[in-house]
Amino acid sequence: MTTTYTAICERVGKWWEITVPELESGGVTQAKRLDDVEDIVRDLVALMADVPPEDIAVKVIHVYKIHIREEDQSYWASVEELPGCFATGETWDELQASLAEAIGLHLSTRRHRVSARLGEASKPKPSKMESVVAQRVLVS
């Protein structure tokens, strides 16, 4: 029977910090490259939960720092960890869809499906100020 574990990845310096919330004893590890996350998490879960690696599925969620700015009644966003990755939208929903597409195109060599969810709490207040928020982006 296959059990799915979640790998929440956040960039810390030159490494990706990985947290597996389903592991009660605090499953935290790290990876140099995102391509290595699934194998590293599978090994961690197998070791800590005493489960055969072939019975482990991994759902990877990346946490990116997204710089969001409201300008001239539209939104602009860039992804700190993905240089050159940015999106625009006239509405919050358009920005969300555009950002998911931009991240997907940026990661397209890895053939991942991307779903970006920008929470209402992250919406910048109307001003010329830029807001920096950490957002979870599901990449599968």
pLDDT in tens, 32-90: 988 899 999 999 999 998 889 999 999 988 888 888 888 888 889 898 888 889 999 99
Least confident of 62-66, 103-107, 113-117, 118-122: 118-122
Indicate the DSSP class of residue 122: G
89 close to 96: Cβ distance less than 8 angstroms: yes
Indicate the DSSP class of residue 125: P
Domains of the chain: 3-60 (3.30.160), 64-139 (3.30.160.250)
Computed over every residue of the chain, the mean pLDDT equals 81
Three state DSSP letters for 26-82: CEEEEECCHHHHHHHHHHHHHHHHCCCHHHEEEEEEEEEEEEEEEECCEEEEEECCC
Q: Please state the pTM of the whole predicted model.
A: 0.68
d(CA 100, CA 120): 16
Q: What are phi and psi of 84, to 5 degrees?
A: 85, 0
